[in-house]
Structure 1
Amino acid sequence: MLAEERFAAILQLLQEKKTVTVNELTKTLHISESTIRRDLVSLHKMKKLRKVHGGATLLQKEYAPIENDVTQRSQEHIEEKRRLAQYAATLIEPHDFIYLDAGSTILHMAEFIEEKDAVYVTNSLYLSERLAIKGMKVFILAGEIKAKTMAVVGLGAVSALQKYNFTKAFLGTNGITIENGFTTPDMEESYVKCEAMKHAQKCYVLADASKFNLCTAMSTADISDAIIITSKGIPDEYKEETEVIEVAI
């Protein structure tokens, strides 16, 4: 049996049973255990299934088509978001040129940012005001204001980002999956996030545990394009795809 045929047979059984073991696949397909294990590794790397100890499971994800306003989202999982934001703020160093997006977790960073020898650029009206009140040097992108998140979006914001070269970018996300990467439900915000990440030497995505295995309408970047700052206990497969910083909550 050719590799492509084995892959198709494994995925067909997985669709029917949701979870399969190496032993089941060996007996059903009449293929050696070593070959099955190699095939599962290959399919896992191809993001067709999730390899687990002794077998494999379907890639499971939820779909979230809508977005709540930023003030409501900032109050969800609030203690976890504050701890992630507090840790992220410690990564800002003197003379950094920082991009901060309009994510609800990023909004909490304003409480903890103390570095006044850094320069900040943001597309968040809320965040720009809070940083300015603290005496930080902050620039806000030009463009259309999105009422639900008070984020600046549109062609003007994307064009402005093309001129910047950030040392670090800190972004939020509405969902993360292995196969779809970082996602957001809004097309305009997706363009802004994507452009900001292109112009940063190092990107950090702050994500509480509820964001994992959740997919929304627009992909902004592959999971390998950023370092994830999250709480402990996320699925191990994410750690195989990118650097993950786990913060004690």
Structure 2
Amino acid sequence: MKKDQRFKVILELCQTKKKVYTEEIMECCHCSIATVRRDLQEMEDNHMIQRFHGGALQINANELPMFYKSVDHYEEKDRIARKACEQIKDHQVIYLDAGSSTFEMIKYIYSKDITVVTIGIPHVIELMNRNIKTIVLPGLVYKQTEAISGKITVDALSSYHFDCAFMGVNGIDEVHQITTTNKWEAKVKEKVIKQSDRSFILADHTKFHKVYPLQYAKLSDVTCISCISPIKMKYIKT
């Protein structure tokens, strides 16, 4: 089993059991105790889990690291990313949110002479590799989400106007609308929508009928790019 697959299994065990022991991880991952120890050390260093003598504990249940998200439902996210990039036209200024779904978009951006504004740390590197003109918003860097956020970020957004914005989402629900987990993340997304002609959220099937503490948009504020359409709102289907 590859390392990224082992990481995913360990995170899922921690989510399910809250506390998981080394022997269980060895059995589920079909690997040695030395491999488990190395994996747990690396995961703790990246704030993915908390180690204890003999195993690992779940941390931050509300927000998983981008590493985990990037390997989860990859094919579905890839289809959504392709469809999202069809919305980008030449010479536009676009906003690209942090997160795994928007990150997958970058390799499919072929529009000419565009400017991308982003808060995603991995996104910046990938955009540079594609020679895409990129502006990074100021703010506090959050290691867990690999994103920039905070009051400085919200204030800086007032200087921008976007032809279109592409955002990730934690929860979509008919009653509670569009929700997320973090106060500043919610404020950034809310501000981006106000500054954009068109706002899109990229949603795999796991995001529907989920509710998180902070609402940042109504269903009518955004268009959802998804493989499914289980809730009444505007969609672009893949």
Shorter-chain TM-score above 0.5:
yes
Return the alpha-carbon distance in structure 2 between the equivalents of residues 145 and 202 of structure 1.
Answer: 26
1:85-96 correspondence to structure 2 within 5 Å: 85-96=81-92
Partner of 1:35: none
Partner of 2:166: 170
Partner of 1:105: 101
Give the Å deviation of 1:68. Answer: 0.3
**Alignment-mate amino acid for residue 141 of structure 1:** L
Give the Å deviation of 1:90. Answer: 1.6
Distance 1:184 1:163, change over 3 A: same
1:24-173 correspondence to structure 2 within 5 Å: 66-173=62-169
Return the alpha-carbon distance in structure 2 between the equivalents of residues 87 and 140 of structure 1.
Answer: 24
Give the Å deviation of 1:115. Answer: 1.9
Moved more, 196-205 or 111-120: 111-120
Give the Å deviation of 1:157. Answer: 0.6
SS in 2 for 1:193: helix
Q: 1:193 aligns with which of 189, 205, 212?
A: 189
Give the Å deviation of 1:194. Answer: 0.8
Partner of 1:38: none
**Alignment-mate amino acid for residue 74 of structure 1:** S
Deviations 1:200-236 (A, max 9, x none): 000011100110000111111011100000003x32x
1:218-237 correspondence to structure 2 within 5 Å: 218-232=214-228, 234-235=229-230
Deviations 1:65-112 (A, max 9, x none): 611001111211110001100111121111111001002211111121
**Runs of 4 or more consecutive aligned structure 1 residues displaced over 2 Å after TM superposition:** none
Deviations 1:26-71 (A, max 9, x none): xxxxxxxxxxxxxxxxxxxxxxxxxxxxxxxxxxxxxx96110011
Return the alpha-carbon distance in structure 2 between the equivalents of residues 176 and 182 of structure 1.
Answer: 5
Instruction: Kindly indicate whether residue 201 of structure 2 is the aligned counterpart of residue 205 of structure 1.
Output: yes
* Aligned partners of 1:100 and 1:123 also within 8 Å: yes
Q: Kindly name which structure, 1 or 2, has the bigger radius of gyration based on alpha carbons.
A: 1
Give the Å deviation of 1:245. Answer: 1.3
Give the Å deviation of 1:163. Answer: 1.1
Give the structure-1-normalised TM-score: 0.70
Give the structure-2-normalised TM-score: 0.73
Partner of 1:246: 237
Gaps of 5+ in 2: 1-59
Return the alpha-carbon distance in structure 1 between the equivalents of residues 140 and 96 of structure 2.
Answer: 17
Return the alpha-carbon distance in structure 1 between the equivalents of residues 93 and 86 of structure 2.
Answer: 14
SS in 1 for 2:112: coil
**Alignment-mate amino acid for residue 174 of structure 2:** I
Deviations 1:112-136 (A, max 9, x none): 1122311110011111110111100
**Alignment-mate amino acid for residue 213 of structure 2:** A
Return the alpha-carbon distance in structure 2 between the equivalents of residues 187 and 116 of structure 1.
Answer: 35
Partner of 2:51: none
